[in-house]
């Protein structure tokens, strides 16, 4: 790898590293709020939480229900690696590294297939 390309790769890695760290901190913050609310309401963690319902996220958060913050945090956790691949894809396209851009795209396609198959089999 040449000097400028190496510098660009290092910069991308630093950016992706910070992105992962940032999303993780946000998700942990949301989970901490959710757990504190859980404890404040005296709810046992083993009592069984509600299923994921995207339509309930905002109302639950606005009503300061633990499930809203917990689900928001968990969705952020799952989104973190996908975001990392998306940022890597943009970095590779910018660097005209078509091989790695293709690999990044293929990873996102596989994840999309997983989401699609889960939704289809549940419906």
Partner 1 sequence: MIVGLWMMGGGAAAGVFGSLLGLGGGILIVPLLTLGFGLPLREAVGVSLVSVMMTSSAAAGVYLERHVANLRLGMTLELFTAIGALVGGSIAFLLDERLLSLLFSALLGYVAFTMIRARTRDSIQGVESPAIDAEPDDGPPPRPTLLDRLGGDGYQVRNLGRGVIGALGAGVASALLGIGGGIIKVPLMHLAMGVPLRVATATSNLMIGITAAASAVIYLVHGGIDPYVAGPTGIGVFVGATAGSRLGHRVDLRYLRLLFVVVLGYTAIQMLLRAVQ
Residue ranges in contact with partner 1 by CB under 8 A:
1, 9-10, 12-14, 16-21, 23-24, 27-28, 31-32, 34-35, 38-39, 42-52, 66-67, 70-71, 73-75, 77-78, 80-82, 84-85, 88, 99-100, 103-104, 106-107, 110-111, 113-115, 117-119, 121-122
Q: Which is nearer to partner 1, 85 or 90 (CB)?
A: 85
CA distances (Å), 98 to each of 2, 12, 15, 123, in order? 17, 15, 20, 37
Separation CA 90–CA 104 (nearest Å): 9
CB of 13 to partner 1, least distance (A): 5
CA 37 to the chain's CA centroid: 22
User: Residue 117, exposed/middle/buried by CB under 10 A (0-12, 13-18, 19+)?
Assistant: exposed
Q: In angstroms, give the least distance from the CB of 30 to partner 1.
A: 9
Nearer to partner 1, 62 or 75 (CB): 75
Residue 32 CB, nearest distance to partner 1 (Å)?
6
> How many CB atoms sit inside 10 A of residue 27's CB?
19
When the beta carbons of 50 and 59 are compared against partner 1, the nearer one is: 50
Residue with Cβ nearer partner 1 (48 or 62): 48
State phi, psi for 42 to the nearest 5 degrees. Answer: 70, 25
């Amino acid at each position: 790898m040449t000097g400028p390309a190496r510098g660009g790769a290092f910069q991308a890695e630093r950016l992706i590293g910070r992105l992962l760290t940032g999303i993780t901190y946000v998700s942990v913050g949301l989970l901490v709020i959710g757990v504190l609310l859980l404890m404040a309401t005296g709810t046992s963690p083993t009592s069984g939480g509600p299923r994921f319902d995207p339509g309930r996220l905002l109302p639950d958060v606005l009503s300061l229900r633990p499930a809203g913050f917990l689900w928001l945090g968990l969705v952020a956790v799952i989104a973190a690696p996908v975001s990392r691949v998306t940022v890597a894809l943009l970095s590779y396209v910018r660097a005209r590294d078509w091989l790695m851009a293709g690999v990044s795209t293929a990873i996102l396609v596989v994840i999309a297939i997983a989401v699609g198959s889960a939704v289809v089999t549940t419906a």
